[in-house]
Structure 1
């Protein structure tokens, strides 16, 4: 069996997939409905929405298949994403690319495969909608159009979901996806015995700022805050806008002492710069709460709750407590 092909734009394609914030999440009913329809309307036992990740294909939704993922080198879909066309394999045992594939020689004994790339609005193929049968067969013209139409519905749902998960003003994750990602990081830290620290920055009296300078200046301030935080924390951290005037930073591998030092450094730098309005620089009051994962935390929600409590205390006292 030949090695799987790599798209020329693999780095950008992977970034587009990561930007969906959907890997390892629970499938929604919209996606499950599509795989059921694909299986029933094309008369095949297996239908999958497959997202091609770095070293695996992960199934966002699946009908007729038990595993939630397979290695990328075994994935028919790894070939499908290299083109914008529908890929059809009528009989995998007669195809040099797949005849020795363990998914062909063993369970689920793939013979027929048809897959449509799932292309983002920016033009990257992040996965496929595919159907599979243990019996060789052809794909009729009407069936191909049906599969393409269903794939179009998948991409629409993906885009809609992504938009609902991101703050339209700052482009950061909203509270819900931030907490979902935080829970995964919390579980990973528990398994590996690593430190994990959460920082929540709050703009003090943000409503008063907007009342004084206007809503457009408030929007600019939020965008600038997001940009500054991104620039300071880098790609190793999770960053989200978790309320109207609060930003959360989750730092894997950072203990409480390091977290407190970083929080005060960032808070002081942001406050010192102030905010420029019509040539006049105005003070910018920012508070921060810090909490590190502890033995008493049952999950990320407990860690988040303690960081928010620390932020409330900081706003009252003008300090950065943990």
Structure 2
């Protein structure tokens, strides 16, 4: 069982402000991007290390925006060395982790070819919040010269500059369609119009099936080619008034103004069949693409943009569970989304407490409403159906039950 640690020795209000800065950049769980891949490649090339990482850190994990030399995409914050680098502005250099009392007993150190050299620089915003790190890691002890340290600092500044540029961008660099932030901004305008005029509006969320297998089998270049091909296949089917965006690695969203549920299902099926027709000559074995689709219709008396997309995502999740390569309408069967509640998007540090307080797991609270919450965590498998959610910064505590369980997130119902 994972047990929470006091990750950052900072006042809890400072941690709230840091997480607000993380949220401001809207980068968690976004796709790979060439600018950050290049920074990770440079760290590995310039310093001759085995592993390099550009990461963001929320309340429960270190998430890798870019990395080389590791198959991991995130680690629980209790297991990462970078939690120590987040407490100040200076780089942290560990010449030999096996000789450092903070790390020598870590399984990352004691493993065969475990970590020896570790260096990281915090990624610091202009208003002084550490939102992530860049890291250089090797299985052999070594030192860092003053010149290397200055180069490392400059690479961290480059990473922050790229994040600032990314924050202002509206177009996804790989596919040319809307970024997640731009998609949301445009969609919220349509949602406001639909509420004001009581007009029809629907949303589609879709996800390429078994995309990880494509990347593992054919390589990331092939995966990028698939994403571009999917985008080109989808765009001709949509109207000019529709909004199309890339929401995650292989996740996409569509907003359909003036479309009811039946019309949206017709569009989803057209898109699904179009993707099945894609071919990639020369791929061995032959590469095919399928996707799962979720469809939801806007309720002007209850829905926000977030709740509408949540319903589409619920339908998508059901399509995945029932066999993939399907289009599913939202059924309204889940507890947290059938009730007319207004979700407030947040990013706060939380703790899941159970087993008479003998078990405490760090989590990131992503949404709150009157009698429920959505939380992210590293693994939900060991969490019981009844627990307590605590938000230390607000002195809030709720006893609740798990309403919806996903591998890395939970929706909780209070009372």
Shorter-normalised TM range: 0.5 to 0.7
**What does residue 103 of structure 1 align with?**
108
Q: Which SS does the other structure have where 1:44 is aligned? A: coil
Offset at residue 149 of structure 1 (A): 0.5
Q: Contact 1:118–1:126 (CA<8 Å) still a contact in 2?
A: yes
Q: 1:178 to 1:288 in 2, by over 3 A?
A: farther
**What does residue 240 of structure 1 align with?**
185
Instruction: Determine which of 150, 154, 157 is the counterpart of 2:159.
Output: 154
Q: Contact 1:4–1:79 (CA<8 Å) still a contact in 2?
A: no
Q: Contact 2:51–2:69 (CA<8 Å) still a contact in 1?
A: yes
Q: Contact 1:34–1:154 (CA<8 Å) still a contact in 2?
A: yes
Q: Distance in 1 between matches of 2:59 and 2:168?
A: 23
Q: Which SS does the other structure have where 1:11 is aligned? A: helix
Q: 1:165 to 1:53 in 2, by over 3 A?
A: farther
Q: Distance in 2 between matches of 1:161 and 1:47?
A: 21
Q: 1:307 to 1:113 in 2, by over 3 A?
A: same
Q: Distance in 2 between matches of 1:154 and 1:308?
A: 41
**What does residue 290 of structure 1 align with?**
201
Within the alignment, does 1:14 sit opposite 2:19 as a pair? yes
Within the alignment, does 1:119 sit opposite 2:64 as a pair? no
Q: Contact 1:49–1:62 (CA<8 Å) still a contact in 2?
A: yes
Richer in helix (by share): 1
Q: Contact 2:203–2:254 (CA<8 Å) still a contact in 1?
A: no
**What does residue 70 of structure 1 align with?**
75
Q: 1:248 to 1:106 in 2, by over 3 A?
A: farther
Structure 1: gaps spanning 5 or more residues = 167-173, 181-238, 250-262, 268-285, 311-319
Cα deviations by residue, 1:78-121 (Å, 9 ceiling, x for unpaired) = 11111100101111111111111121112661111110000112
Counterparts of residues 170-249 of structure 1 (less than 5 Å): 176-178=179-181, 240-242=185-187, 246-248=189-191
Q: Contact 2:39–2:159 (CA<8 Å) still a contact in 1?
A: yes
Q: 1:11 to 1:140 in 2, by over 3 A?
A: same
Q: Contact 1:52–1:126 (CA<8 Å) still a contact in 2?
A: yes
Offset at residue 305 of structure 1 (A): 4.0
Offset at residue 4 of structure 1 (A): 5.5
Cα deviations by residue, 1:14-70 (Å, 9 ceiling, x for unpaired) = 111122111111121111111111111111111100111211101100011111011
Cα deviations by residue, 1:261-294 (Å, 9 ceiling, x for unpaired) = xx88x52xxxxxxxxxxxxxxxxxx56433366x
How many pairs were matched up? 212
Offset at residue 303 of structure 1 (A): 7.3
Structure 2: gaps spanning 5 or more residues = 172-176, 208-242, 245-251, 261-299, 302-415
**What does residue 53 of structure 1 align with?**
58
Offset at residue 176 of structure 1 (A): 3.0
**What does residue 32 of structure 1 align with?**
37
Offset at residue 122 of structure 1 (A): 2.1
Q: Which SS does the other structure have where 1:240 is aligned? A: helix
Q: Distance in 1 between matches of 2:113 and 2:20?
A: 31
Offset at residue 242 of structure 1 (A): 4.2
Richer in strand (by share): 2
Q: Distance in 2 between matches of 1:107 and 1:165?
A: 44
